[in-house]
Amino acid sequence: MTAVTGAPPTQPDRGHATLIYNTNAGGSGHCTPEDLVGVLHGLGFRPVCRATSSEHELKEALDSAQGPVFVAGGDGTVRAVALELAGRAGVVLGIVPMGTANNVARTLGIQGQPLDILASYAAARVQPFDLGRVTGPWGQDLFLEACGCGAFADVLAEYDPESGKSPLRAVQALATALTSFDPPPVSLTVDGQPTPETAFALLEVMNTRATGPRLRLATHADPGDGLLDVVRIDAEGREGLLAYLAALARDEFEALSSVESSRAAVVEIPYSGQAFHIDAEVRPPMPGVTGTVQVEAWPGALQVLVPEQGEG
């Protein structure tokens, strides 16, 4: 673990701050930890930058964190930090998106160059950010973006990260899978109410508007409303490949006739051994295992900073 410090603050003292920096993030470019620390000093913070290379180092850095925690990296880095901070009172998270998809930051309206985004935290509001809790036959999980089964979980299981992160390639793979996926009918339980048995080509429980390589499946999701967006495609009424490609390109996925979307606090999904994804992680198939996967919102699990340029 390394610690980077800089010149004394030039603004009124805002106290301590911790910067978690991922040097491998896809959008880091020429932005260095020293650059980011310099901006934080200019805002009046007394920052310490922690470059972590393991889960243990990250936990150690966050256990001793004082003041706001700023995380500079992609969705994977944001997720790792957020799961460590979940439920911790008095800690706020500021995101400096430097990845490829940046689904969490985009949902909050945070976009731009890293140094500009960090500088915009000079005036920011604090707002709640929900998480999702998942209990399944494999154990318990938390997610920031989404969890689900069906075509996207299967695509993610086959998605080759060594080929590079490509939103276009992911959209094409998902659209192709949607037209050929052959699922069994199931009855969901949504906030205690059972639904009619339906074969779902895609079933996603969303907290943010997009997941994976920038797949905007829940165009109106609000991660601070205490609810999750349940997005599903009826396999019998599904549309053609071009319809899904066009809808994803226009950010109108939920407007398709085969797509149903609703909001709920708790969703129960019958489990028959199928693959699930939790954010970008896959829980592989467990043939012969049956049960229930329960997904529930954890309202206000985090407190996040939203800078002026990210409002709305």
Average pLDDT of span 203-215: 92
Of residues 95 and 7, more confidently modeled: 95
Q: For the beta carbon of residue 109, count every other beta carbon within 10 angstroms.
A: 12
Q: Is the pLDDT confidence value at 295 over 90?
A: yes
Q: Of the given ranges (29-38, 68-77, 167-176, 251-260), which has the lowest mean pLDDT?
A: 167-176
pLDDT digits (tens, 9 = 90+) for 169-194: 777 777 777 777 888 899 999 999 99
Confidence tier at 197 by pLDDT (50, 70, 90):
very high
Quick one: which of 145, 162, 239, 146 has its CA closest to 201?
239
Q: How far apart are the C-alpha atoms of 225 and 292, rounded to whole Å?
A: 25
Of residues 237 and 93, more confidently modeled: 93
Name, of 61-75, 166-180, 193-207, the range with top average pLDDT: 193-207
Q: Map 17-64 to HEC letters.
A: EEEEECCCCCCCCCCCHHHHHHHHHHCCEEEEEEECCCHHHHHHHHHC
Quick one: which of 38, 29, 52 has its CA closest to 7?
38
Q: Of the given ranges (64-73, 113-122, 194-203, 273-282), which has the lowest mean pLDDT?
A: 64-73
Average pLDDT of span 244-251: 87
Average pLDDT of span 198-222: 92
Looking up tokens 């390639």, which residue turns up?
169
Q: Of the given ranges (27-36, 238-247, 256-265, 287-296), which has the lowest mean pLDDT?
A: 27-36
Round the average pLDDT of the chain to a whole number and report it.
87
pLDDT digits (tens, 9 = 90+) for 277-287: 999 999 999 99
Q: How far apart are the C-alpha atoms of 206 and 201, rounded to whole Å?
A: 16
Q: Is the pLDDT confidence value at 308 over 60?
A: yes
CATH topology assigned to domain 132-300: Tumour Suppressor Smad4 (2.60.200)
The whole-number pLDDT of residue 310 equals 47
Average pLDDT of span 195-221: 93
Give the H/E segment covering residue 287. none
Domain layout of the chain by residue ranges = 2-99, 132-300
Architecture label for domain 2-99: 3-Layer(aba) Sandwich (3.40)
Could you tell me the CA-to-CA distances from 286 to 101, 133, 203 in Å, in that order?
29, 20, 18
Q: Is the pLDDT confidence value at 160 over 70?
A: no
pTM of the predicted model as reported, rounded to 2 decimal places: 0.88
